[in-house]
Amino acid sequence: MFKSLAIWLASALTVSAAGALNYTDDNTGISFSGYFDGEGYTIGLAMPENPSTDLIAQIVSPLKDGEGWGGFDFGVSMAGYLLIVAWPNGDDVVLSPRMATGYTTPSAYTGNVTLTPIADGTFINSTHLSATFLCAGCITGNSDSFSANETNAVFAYAYSTTAVTDPTDSSTELSYHTAGYSAFGMTLAYAKSADYDTWAAMAKTTTTTPSGNTTIPSNSTTPGSTATPSPTSQPTTISNVTYDYIIGGGGAAGLVVAGRLAETGASVLLLERGGPSTVATGSDEAVSWNSSITPYDIPAMDYYLASSGVSSPYCTDTASMAGCVLGGGGAVNAMMYVKPQDVDFNDKWPAGWKADDVRKASDRFFSRNPGSDMPSADHKRYDQGTYNLLSSFLGKDGFSPVKPLEEPNRKVDVFAHPPWLVENGLRGGPVKTYLPQVQGLSNFKLSMNTNVIRAVRNGTWVSGVEVEKQDGTHEIIRVTPNSGKVILAAGTMSTPRILFYSGIGPADQLKAVPSTVKMLSPSQWIDLPVGEGVKDHPIITVTLGTKNNGTLTALDETAFTAPDNTSISMFDRGSGLLTQSGQRLNFWTSVVSPSDGKTRFLQGTCNSPSSNMVRIKLYVTHGLTSSSNLVLDSTGELTQFTHDPWLQTQGDIEAYEGFLARLIAMAGRPDSTLTLQLADGTDAPAGINATALLADLRSTLTPGDHFVGTAKMGPDDRRRGNGTAVVDDDTRVYGTDNLFVVDASIHPDLPTGNTQAIVMVAAERAVERILALDGMAVGQPAAGNRTGAGKAPGVGAKRVPFRQCRGCARGLAGRRHALKDLHDA
């Protein structure tokens, strides 16, 4: 058994770094749904079909020389939530319920919970501990846990391979979680089982230590969660309304595209798999102190959305975090709004997409969404201790201030007040600036809680999409015959699965599509590199302490999540602390990596999580070369990475080392006001070098969740050689007449800063290109009858000149394709 575990761990680390999983534990026979972190930590949950207060949990946590601990938190932020911790005491496993309150050892939990071990799943071996137990009273429905009627939940975990202070004491001090920690989401339906009562009866008041070992399953993905159920074999209806354009995805890019297309008078259907994010779009999750806004609107709450009380806005079937709510990632991110520098487009984007080519689209977009580094209406900045301290620290090493929204090409040795997508004191973006301008038009329709499953395709022609609606039923919605277009804007994490389900992608991925999906025959598959070469910004966290017990004061989390009357009153006037996002200073620099001579940019976003501490989230950005592939898991319902996409190349590692060497020197100067710290919060030893410091800080590595490149744009069509491109320079999927992709998945490169701004600039350019195919321009109304929200088949269909429409060139053949698609559906 020990050997089988070692073999599996080696295989798992090769195949998949981390992620959601469903598995049956060999020792107990219990079926769990949970998460694997890629390094040996697993958490699994099992629940009754109609849960009330109890569940079964399994924690499998790595040990080093028999020492360590593993913890599972019932909320995303650790602090304020029930935390179950397990550690070895000789051959026994100690279980301890805790409650974290901040950057200290979690204290004993005072709520009414009972932890009863299940013997066959609770033991110690040479590499891991396994704790399997009935957790009675753990579903509290209060602020410290989740509710029995929730559909999705967000949890967290942490673990260490360093011993606790006193393993015999259930309230002992814990070592710092240097081995790993993160958050993950779950669709709770996958944890429910009719066999729960049988499994719960196995719980006993004493535990044994069998000599066997637990088998950790290998069908894992990266952070994101368990799957939304795949399409079933139930009957699929066909809508009797057609649209000129169907856009699949109501995120940042989809909203821009839908808004611009609807302005032309064309009939447009925008499909969003999530629900509303604002009161104006139908949300009933307003904050208690203002019935007109939700937590999504409040800039200061962007770091705390998962604990704000809104229903889970995150996708539960993706390889990493993605927003599944109207506005997509733009509704759940930290609002960083970094205007792209010219080199972001000039380096790897194809002809027609260089900085000068995109300039008009960029100007159009920023004129509507200018952003701000001074969002408070009273023209004051609040909570500026971090900025004042860190700007002085950086200034002594040659960094200078910059206005990033006015000087986007200054990205070397500069610092700034953070640029945010905040307008009128609220979170900005296309939900506020594009959607309202078309929402009342008769030719525009928005359908939320509607998940695009696949493009309905026969050969090169796409006649529409199959969707799954909120009630679980399926429907085929069609585009205007011969001229309609389907535009996928589901994001880097979700667009690839739609393409796979549509018969587009590498053959091994198409073979992995679930049998419940109505797949095309292999003769109609289109071999394109969907999912290949995905990139992301890695983030390591660097902390610095103030020297000589400085006076940097940090605000408590409640200042943002439970604001006082003064803050509320100011916010109602568009001013004050709540109009600011969580960052307090941004800086940019670059490093030339010795191993390959390439320039790589770095970005730091900084704040103060506790008094007398500065936290830098340090990104390697434009120029990085590490990547991975996004693939379907063994069920075909989830996506996963084949390996970590972060720090896979020596050049990327050297970029971090180059800046860390500089930071070590800065902190070591006699006049430095800050001292460099290790990942565990202790001061870095004198003489530490950049390589050793990075080795320590790699334990803090987290995704930037700025993924690009899973449906890359370029001239190198894979069907004609060993190409890397999925879409052409019009964003049309190679091998199709009328299927397009407009989201971050088509971006061939990462930008210097967060992806929010460049995604929407590229969407403006893309809609320009798509309209040009029909002889139109942005802002130009179309000729003919294009004012209906939808059209009965064949009625008032848009007419396009023969030379402008590839689909039209097939004449009657195009109509036959459309009729055959309906028959196949």
Tell me the backbone φ, ψ of residue 382, rounded to 5 degrees.
Answer: -115, 150
- With bands split at pLDDT 50, 70 and 90, how would you rate the model's confidence at 288? very high
Catalytic residue among 417, 706, 747, 817: 706
> What is d(CA 529, CA 717) in angstroms, rounded to the nearest whole number?
9
Lowest mean pLDDT among 166-175, 355-364, 641-650, 810-819: 810-819
Average pLDDT in the chain: 87
Give the CA-trace dihedral at 561, 563, 568, 569, to 10 degrees.
-170
Instruction: Report strand pairing: 42-48 vs 192-193.
Output: parallel
Judge whether residue 210 has pLDDT over 50: no
Q: Dump the DSSP string for 415-445.
A: EESPPB-EETTEE-SHHHHTHHHHTT-TTEE
Angle between helices 355-368 and 756-773 (to 10 degrees): 110
Share of the chain above pLDDT 70, in %: 87
According to DSSP, the residues that pair with 287 across neighbouring strands are: 290
Q: Which residue has the higher pLDDT, 176 or 782?
A: 176
Judge whether residue 208 has pLDDT over 90: no
Judge whether residue 430 has pLDDT over 70: yes
* Model pLDDT, residue 205: 53
Q: Which CATH architecture has domain 2-200?
A: Sandwich (2.60)
**Catalytic residue check, 537:** no
* Model pLDDT, residue 173: 84
Pick the closest to residue 643 from 623, 626, 657 (CA basis).
Answer: 626
- With bands split at pLDDT 50, 70 and 90, how would you rate the model's confidence at 179? confident
> What is d(CA 161, CA 700) in angstroms, rounded to the nearest whole number?
15
Q: What is the distance of C-alpha 213 from the center of its chain?
A: 34
Judge whether residue 95 has pLDDT over 70: yes
Mean pLDDT in residue range 39-64: 93
* Model pLDDT, residue 110: 86
Q: Where are the domains of the chain?
A: 2-200
Residues 190, 195, 198, 202, CA torsion sign? negative
- With bands split at pLDDT 50, 70 and 90, how would you rate the model's confidence at 591? very high
* Model pLDDT, residue 807: 33
* Model pLDDT, residue 805: 33
Judge whether residue 821 has pLDDT over 60: no
pLDDT digits (tens, 9 = 90+) for 103-128: 556 888 888 899 999 999 999 988 89
> What is d(CA 765, CA 356) in angstroms, rounded to the nearest whole number?
11
- With bands split at pLDDT 50, 70 and 90, how would you rate the model's confidence at 5? very low
